Structure 1
């Protein structure tokens, strides 16, 4: 059910979607969102009340960092009561990181936050920007038969696909189908109508308050395994000054070399209090360290399973947990359970 009187807050952070070509110079410039409905008369048919906030200056998504996530959370918190939903226009390169971060930073979210973008600027003739923006607006305004939002979670809409934000990964730099959720089904799909899979959408507790978090700790490194990785490289990464957590990208279902020096390096890092989370390099699948002997060695060394979480979700979840000063033991427990639908344990997977 479309709420034709919905109040939607449109937040433009930067990125291709908000660019138009200057007719005189040919240079791409930031679109004037104050005149959005005049440039996109299709939006007037919805009769939404659309407010806009534009980042000054606009941020290239390659430059996005936790300070921008905090800014977004602050904007949403300050405008939460007055709006039915939020649409964030964002560059595609780090959109999955931002969507993942927001899912942890806004606890018990009860309204839609839809991130979208485009592969071509809004002013281009063949742009995907208009359809992405219009559909994201509709999703942000959609309510069920008793007036609750249909999608009360952080999500990404891109080229007909609605997916959970912290399950998303950018898969394509050239085509319009830029994002995919490999380990969790889509939340909906647009065609003639938007068809939602209600069973896959998070259900918040409407009896409890929304909690906005701002603390993030970026003392994290990623260690990606590859054949021929050297002892010196592994030691350099695990001994990075100030590092508190390591995202270990392993092969298959969580396998890594059984070299004595490698296992000893992991054991030493764990003894120093560093949290090591194991995720797979595969696009689809889950870490199961009990499955093979190579993975079992990691388990004995104190490495924590990240199950089927994406690298984007794992990194931002660790930033969130480390920032809140939880003990090492508490962080390990919380990394093993979903906080916002970001992972599924092996015995619960249906894909």
Structure 2
């Protein structure tokens, strides 16, 4: 039985080719994808292509595009066995993260991929990324999808989407999940680490929850900064603070006073680490106790991309019971270590 995969092209380098008259990159007609990559016809799946009418640079991707992708998957969920999203690399981790929260009770693969070089380049990484992503998007065993979550496939590695970060703009191996193992690797054989795959613990039906609030602010703490700017924040509902190490900040009376002022005005404060690996541990050092005093929320080992999109999704979302803090600390779809 041939599996059916819907390929959604949003934009990005993977869909570019060089205009040899001008030397600049331009989007090619994705209706000709099978001519560009004839090897796609050799894969044991039927591929339908849905290109955005106007390709979107990944730096322009945001709530409007996230909602469109999520709802397009929702509208086509029963008609396809898997979904492949071609996306620019710079914000792919944000899109993968937010889709993992929007696509509730997912039982089918949603794979995002892109490339560092255009598809028409002689040394392009686009073909391998696209072809192997199609394999993963159509991978079933005993009539059940092997992958039932949102992932990123890039440079021979399958990664949990809401755990990824882009760490290189130079190398083909551009993505990592420092706080979670690789889900699969492609070599001579297509490998999947089934023990690491996410599985929903309920039998609830798939649904799209595209709620997004943009009343979220991200701020990186640095040595020597003053906190006067915080007093000028106009009642932002969620402030994500990226702090030192396992959760420390300069311990001064003014720090406590300023952060407490934000809490008193109703701002939720989420604390995440600047470290690529590891996470927040309140109480490990005395300079983290300030966050316990003000009732801040620990992000544990969540990535910045996932923390931001999770906060945007949960804030004022009527589909969740309980308050923001209670829901943020929950492991919704594998984004934090329990």
Rounded to whole Å, the distance in 1 between the matches of 2:227 and 2:101 is 35
Establish whether residue 219 from structure 1 lines up as the match of residue 215 from structure 2: yes
Structure 1 unmatched ranges of 5 or more: 346-351
CA shift, 1:342, in A, is 0.3
Alignment of 1:26-41 (within 5 A): 26-41=23-38
SS at 2:270's partner residue?
A: strand
CA shift, 1:306, in A, is 0.4
Q: Residue 344 of structure 1 corresponds to which residue in structure 2?
A: 337
Alignment of 1:240-251 (within 5 A): 240-251=233-244
Contact kept in structure 2, 1:86 and 1:114, CA below 8 Å: yes
SS at 2:144's partner residue?
A: coil
TM-score (norm 2): 0.96
Structure 2 unmatched ranges of 5 or more: none
Rounded to whole Å, the distance in 1 between the matches of 2:275 and 2:202 is 37
In the alignment, which of 200, 203, 217 is matched to residue 204 of structure 1? 200
Contact kept in structure 2, 1:110 and 1:206, CA below 8 Å: no
Rounded to whole Å, the distance in 1 between the matches of 2:317 and 2:178 is 29
CA shift, 1:24, in A, is 4.0
Contact kept in structure 2, 1:100 and 1:165, CA below 8 Å: yes
Contact kept in structure 1, 2:235 and 2:267, CA below 8 Å: no
SS at 2:287's partner residue?
A: helix
Rounded to whole Å, the distance in 2 between the matches of 1:198 and 1:160 is 17
Rounded to whole Å, the distance in 2 between the matches of 1:339 and 1:279 is 17
SS at 2:152's partner residue?
A: strand
Alignment of 1:1-351 (within 5 A): 5-144=2-141, 146-204=142-200, 207-236=203-232, 240-325=233-318, 330-345=323-338
Residues 1:95 and 1:177: Cα distance change in structure 2 (over 3 Å):
same
RMSD, matched Cα: 1.6
Contact kept in structure 2, 1:10 and 1:51, CA below 8 Å: yes
SS at 1:81's partner residue?
A: helix
CA shift, 1:224, in A, is 1.0
Query: How many residues are matched?
Result: 338
Contact kept in structure 2, 1:219 and 1:242, CA below 8 Å: no
Residues 1:329 and 1:295: Cα distance change in structure 2 (over 3 Å):
farther
Contact kept in structure 2, 1:273 and 1:328, CA below 8 Å: no
Structure 1 segments, 4+ long, off by >4 Å, are: 325-329
Residues 1:244 and 1:165: Cα distance change in structure 2 (over 3 Å):
same
Greater shift in the superposed pair: 95-104 or 320-329: 320-329
SS at 2:246's partner residue?
A: coil
CA shift, 1:206, in A, is 7.3
CA shift, 1:208, in A, is 2.1
SS at 1:204's partner residue?
A: coil
Greater shift in the superposed pair: 301-310 or 289-298: 289-298
Rounded to whole Å, the distance in 2 between the matches of 1:133 and 1:254 is 39
TM-score (norm 1): 0.93
CA shift, 1:325, in A, is 4.4
SS at 2:327's partner residue?
A: helix
Rounded to whole Å, the distance in 2 between the matches of 1:206 and 1:245 is 29
Rounded to whole Å, the distance in 2 between the matches of 1:25 and 1:268 is 56
Greater shift in the superposed pair: 206-215 or 323-332: 323-332
Rounded to whole Å, the distance in 1 between the matches of 2:41 and 2:158 is 23
Rounded to whole Å, the distance in 2 between the matches of 1:323 and 1:303 is 18
CA shift, 1:329, in A, is 5.9
Residues 1:328 and 1:287: Cα distance change in structure 2 (over 3 Å):
farther
CA shift, 1:235, in A, is 2.6
